[in-house]
Structure 1
Amino acid sequence: MKIVADDKIPYIRGVFEPYADITYLPGKAITAKEVKEADALLVRTRTRCDAALLAGSSVRMVATATIGTDHIDLPWCAAHGIKVVSAPGCNAGGVLQWVAAALARTVGEASPAGLTLGIVGIGHVGSLVEQYASAWGFRVLRSDPPRETAEKLGPADGYVPLDELAAHSDIVTFHVPLHAEGPHPTVHLAGERFFSALKPGATLFNSSRGGVVDEEQLKRAMASDRCACRIDTWENEPAIDRRLLDAALSATPHIAGYSEQGKANASAAVVAAAAKHFGLPPEGWYPTGVTQVGRRPISWAEMRATITDYFDIDGQSRTLKAAPEQFETLREEYIFRQEYF
């Protein structure tokens, strides 16, 4: 069999070579010509998987080493018998670390007690942020319409409409997938209505997908001193709006989930999916040399005192602000950090 893989998926070189003909290419260099005779495609977000890429090919599986699938035309793949697998929750610990660093810088020496954190999206990442933020003393508000509908959740469970969350939160952090259609679209979820409702002086975090936040509306809100922001994901990556970049309290190049453990989890997920689908031996593979980290309680004081040792969000921000044209390079050459809680 033949596999085409993004050459930036870490740890997987040598895993499939005994069983398949595997070609490694930069994500943007994976073209229809390259995948025409492939059976499986292993990608990241930089490869758009749709009819233009896959029509007429022999591809029967697309496995993405990411939690999101907005770069994949899911209906088209389903209609053409192509199985799609992602790695949900793989980088939750890494994103938690980014949020922790952002919270530490936003709150500073004050106590979280008395502050309200609004979490939009209570999935793998949002629920982990909720767990730690609550333990640190934040009052937590939650908004997740798909989950609220499915599980019949409401105000008694801490779930409120987005407008209400915006109006009462000192900090709002987004952890939703990017959906343009369906019953709960998230493109520009943080749009004019959201910013009109937003509590004056609030700080917005976005480490989900750039298109979740309407950057024009965000810039207007910041220009009127209505809010501040800390941003990891950008609406037109790899291009960055320079005014937003300059104004952001923290600006990082879409690396919130870039922990060693998160990357290992994602790579293991795509290997397992491909191995199972095609009946190959390395189904239980996990990268050697990567230490899996279990979640552990950590106090607010300990987290604030140690987070910079593991993730210097200010240093990363200065680097991106100094050379935004290097966005892709900074992202692809990023040294994966260690999770520690």
Structure 2
Amino acid sequence: MKIIIDNKIPYIKEAVQKIADEVVYIPGKDFTPELVRDADALIVRTRTHCNRDLLEGSRVKFIATATIGFDHIDTEYCKHAGIEWTNAPGCNSASVAQYIQSSLLVWKSCRNKKLNELTIGIIGVGNVGSKVAKVARNFGMRVLLNDLPREEKEGTEQFVSLNKIAEECDIITFHVPLYKEGKYKTFHLADESFFRSLKQGPVIINTSRGEVIDTDALLKALESRTISDAIIDVWEHEPEINRELLEKVFIGTPHIAGYSADGKANATRMSLDAICKFFQIEGDYNINAPAPASPIIHAKNHEEAILQMYNPVEDSTRLKNQPELFETLRGDYPLRREETAYLIKY
């Protein structure tokens, strides 16, 4: 079996050798029809568009994307061509929650806010949104949840409308997949009309997909002070991001909110497990994130410990200083560890 793998996917080389006869590693943007023609499976990230142009005439039977999102996979074409695919739902949900946890602590310190006096609106309450809700409740925040698909299945008891979030929330964070059309369309979910409906001058956080927010509308909202701040990890037109928006956001990072070693190990494991299941291969491998360089953290309190584990300011400063290096900063990002990897001593 031949597998072609995005060369930025970590912790995979030793494990994949146990299940494949031939393995090729290439940058995600360099997948071509010629390269994939004789491959049996692909393991990709969001940078590889798996569509008719890439796949037609190939012998590819299975695609694993080591990401939560899968809008880079043409699912209709794959269905037509008999190509199975899988993503890695929830693989980095704890990492994204860690990013938001640390970002909120930085923001409240700089803006002299008390989180336990604020209301947060979480739009999209899946693997990530649920963990962010837990983080917010641990801070003592009032939490409002919006998730239309879940509300239709589970009832309205625990969910509120977008209008209520727009009217009452001091912080609004997006955790939805990207759907460009249909009943649950999320493309430009936050558009001019959304920003006009906001009543509290909230902070806007986006770690989902760049296209969920209309960049021009977000810029206008920042300039008019309709919103007070923005924390943005995902951007329209990556890696050619809007430089003006980057200058204006409170924190701006190169799509790395989910880039913990733990999340990456989860995604790699899930991708290989799916390939083994599809091809009916016995997979005998272990994939674990490496131990942190300094596994013991000494801190006065938990908030200080959280920021020792991860502080987004350094990542934001790097991107703001060199926005043209977006792809490099993302591709060469030094994977952080999540809280479970540390022993905290107070």
Distance 2:154 2:75 in 1: 25
Aligned length: 329
CA RMSD of aligned residues (A): 1.6
Q: What's the counterpart of residue 171 of structure 1?
A: 171
Distance 1:80 1:115 in 2: 50
Distance 1:265 1:43 in 2: 14
Q: Alpha-carbon deviations, 1:271-322, whole Å to 9, x = none? A: 101111112232x633245469xxxxxxxx9442122212121111111000
User: Percent of pairs identical after alignment?
Assistant: 43
Q: What amino acid sits opposite 2:9 in the alignment? A: I
Q: Is the alpha carbon distance of 1:173 and 1:302 closer, same or farther for their aligned partners in structure 2, counting shifts above 3 Å?
A: farther
Q: Are residues 1:314 and 2:313 paired?
A: yes
**Correspondence 1:121-160 to 2 at 5 A:** 121-152=124-155, 154=156, 156-157=157-158, 159-160=159-160
Distance 2:330 2:222 in 1: 26
Distance 2:312 2:178 in 1: 24
Distance 1:35 1:173 in 2: 38
Q: Alpha-carbon deviations, 1:158-212, whole Å to 9, x = none? A: x111122122100001011111022101100111121011124210000111000
Q: Alpha-carbon deviations, 1:116-147, whole Å to 9, x = none? A: 00000000000011112112211001111011
Unaligned 5+ residue runs, structure 1?
A: 293-300
Q: What's the counterpart of residue 13 of structure 1?
A: 13
Asked if 1 retains the 8 angstrom alpha-carbon contact of 2:172 and 2:204, the reply is: yes
Q: What amino acid sits opposite 2:245 in the alignment? A: L
Distance 1:335 1:199 in 2: 39
Distance 2:68 2:286 in 1: 18
Q: What displacement does 1:114 show?
A: 2.3
Q: What amino acid sits opposite 2:215 in the alignment? A: E
Asked if 2 retains the 8 angstrom alpha-carbon contact of 1:250 and 1:313, the reply is: yes
Distance 2:286 2:49 in 1: 27
Distance 1:302 1:163 in 2: 37
Q: What amino acid sits opposite 2:171 in the alignment? A: I
TM-score by length of 1: 0.93
Q: What's the counterpart of residue 329 of structure 1?
A: 328
After superposing the two structures, state which structure 1 stretch, 106-115 or 316-325, moved more.
Answer: 106-115
Q: What displacement does 1:4 show?
A: 0.8
Matched residue SS, 2:246: helix
Matched residue SS, 2:116: coil
Asked if 1 retains the 8 angstrom alpha-carbon contact of 2:196 and 2:226, the reply is: no
Q: What's the counterpart of residue 247 of structure 2?
A: 246
